[in-house]
């Protein structure tokens, strides 16, 4: 069983929800990321999504765009992101790491070349924003052959037919994008999310993590009540951005925020 499947199974057995932070690898500096990952684990996160910086992040809002630009200014790349994951793995064998990014850096390595490198780095899942299932067969197969989970996005306008497609080709979990828009956008409507989740559940047995619009303990609790996990990204990166000269302070604030979110999510299983 993959590390992601085992993690979601253990969470389900204990009635808990996954807390999944997203940070961009190498932001604000390559030396910052591994320590930040360990600190987030201590704050109680279950899975880490590690953003791979890309020059043209079309699905991201301004906060994550700027994170990408800062990381690229330090020559961060897909290969170096995997080096960071390897480094993290040396002292943490249980927390799954998911790479989230765009297809072109993977194409530049070739699918096989990338899958081999990801396996060596002990990567658990790969979410490629601009690779829909219709074009993903070859890539998904090369990941699955190495027990790496290909993770797919679902949107508010995804049809039943498409949800079934993701269920077939994806594994690990599905990532439900709760808003039409880019990362870091607007506020979400929990009734809409709840209705859509019912539709999604009818078509897949995979765990569903929900992201876009989660920014604090309160929104985490609302969303955690609906899905199997919550993803928080832009709100964390905003803290890095607010303290570019004091990364330790940013780390402290991120840990604080994740801790309150953890408590909020765990209050769901207690009630």
Measured CA to CA, the distance from residue 257 to residue 260 in angstroms comes to 5
Structure tokens at 228: 């199997």
Output the CA–CA distances (angstroms, integers) from residue 176 to 82, 111, 197, 271, in the order listed: 25, 25, 9, 25
Q: How far apart are CA 146 and CA 119, in angstroms?
A: 7
Residues 70-89 that bind other proteins (CB under 8 A): 72, 77-79
Q: In terms of CB distance, is 7 or 176 closer to other proteins?
A: 176
Q: How far is the CB of 52 from other proteins (least distance, A)?
A: 10
Residue of 9, 27, 31, 60 marked catalytic: 60
Q: Does 39 bind other proteins (CB under 8 A)?
A: no
In the DSSP assignment, the letter for residue 98 is: E
Residue 55 sits in the site that holds other proteins (CB under 8 A): yes
Q: Which is nearer to other proteins, 200 or 257 (CB)?
A: 200
Q: In this chain, which stretch among 1-9, 116-124, 129-137, 214-222 interacts with other proteins, using CB under 8 A?
A: 129-137
Q: Where are the beta strands (DSSP E) in 85-131?
A: 97-101, 125-128
To the nearest whole angstrom, how small is the minimum distance from the Cβ of residue 17 to other proteins?
23
Q: Does 182 sit near other proteins (CB under 8 A)?
A: yes
Q: Is 49 a catalytic residue?
A: yes
Place of tokens 């290909």: 150
Q: How far is the CB of 205 from other proteins (least distance, A)?
A: 19
- Of 10-18, 19-27, 123-131, 249-257: span binding other proteins (CB under 8 A): 123-131
Select the residue interacting with other proteins from 156, 201, 225, 259 (CB under 8 A): 156
Place of tokens 């790496």: 148
- Torsion, Cα of 13, 121, 45, 223 (10° steps): -80
Instruction: Clarify whether 27 is annotated catalytic.
Output: no
Q: Which of 159, 195, 267, 269 binds other proteins (CB under 8 A)?
A: 159
Give the CA angle between residues 249, 251, 253 to the nearest 5°: 70
The maximal CA–CA distance of the chain, rounded, in angstroms, is 49
Using CB under 8 A, which of the segments 20-28, 30-38, 107-115, 237-245 binds other proteins?
107-115
Q: Which of 9, 27, 31, 49 is catalytic?
A: 49
Cα angle, residue 24 at apex, residues 238 and 264 outer, rounded to 5°: 60
Decide: is 135 part of the binding site for other proteins (CB under 8 A).
yes
**CB nearer to other proteins: pick between 32 and 152:** 152
CB 111 within 8 A of CB 144: no
CB 115 → other proteins: shortest distance, Å?
A: 15
Q: Rounded CA gap, 45 and 38, in Å?
A: 10
Binding-site ranges for other proteins (CB under 8 A): 54-59, 61-62, 65, 69, 72, 77-79, 102-109, 129-132, 134-135, 152-159, 162, 177, 180-182, 185
């Amino acid at each position: 069983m993959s590390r992601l499947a085992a993690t979601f199974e253990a969470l389900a057995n204990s009635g808990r929800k996954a807390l999944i932070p997203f940070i961009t690898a190498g932001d604000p500096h390559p030396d910052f990321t591994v320590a930040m990952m360990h600190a987030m684990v201590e704050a109680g996160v279950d899975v880490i999504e590690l953003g791979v910086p890309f020059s043209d992040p079309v699905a991201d809002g301004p906060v994550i765009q700027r994170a990408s630009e800062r990381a690229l200014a330090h020559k961060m790349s897909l290969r170096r992101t995997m080096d960071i994951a390897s480094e993290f793995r040396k002292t943490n064998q249980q927390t799954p790491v998911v790479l989230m990014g765009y297809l072109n850096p993977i194409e530049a390595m070739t699918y096989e070349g990338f899958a081999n490198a990801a396996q060596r780095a002990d990567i658990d899942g790969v979410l490629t924003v601009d690779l829909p299932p219709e074009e993903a067969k070859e890539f998904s197969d090369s990941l699955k052959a190495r027990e790496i989970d290909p993770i797919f996005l679902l949107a508010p306008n995804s049809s039943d037919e498409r949800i079934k497609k993701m269920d077939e080709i994806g594994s690990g979990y599905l990532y439900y994008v709760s808003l039409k828009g880019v990362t870091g956008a607007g506020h979400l409507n929990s009734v809409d999310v709840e209705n859509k989740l019912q539709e999604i559940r009818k078509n897949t047995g995979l765990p569903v993590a929900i992201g876009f619009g989660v920014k604090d303990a309160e929104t985490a609790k609302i969303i955690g009540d609906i899905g199997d996990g919550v993803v928080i990204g832009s709100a964390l990166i905003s803290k890095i951005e607010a303290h570019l000269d004091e990364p330790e302070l940013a780390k402290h604030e991120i840990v604080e925020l994740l801790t309150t979110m953890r408590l909020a999510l765990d209050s769901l299983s207690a009630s």
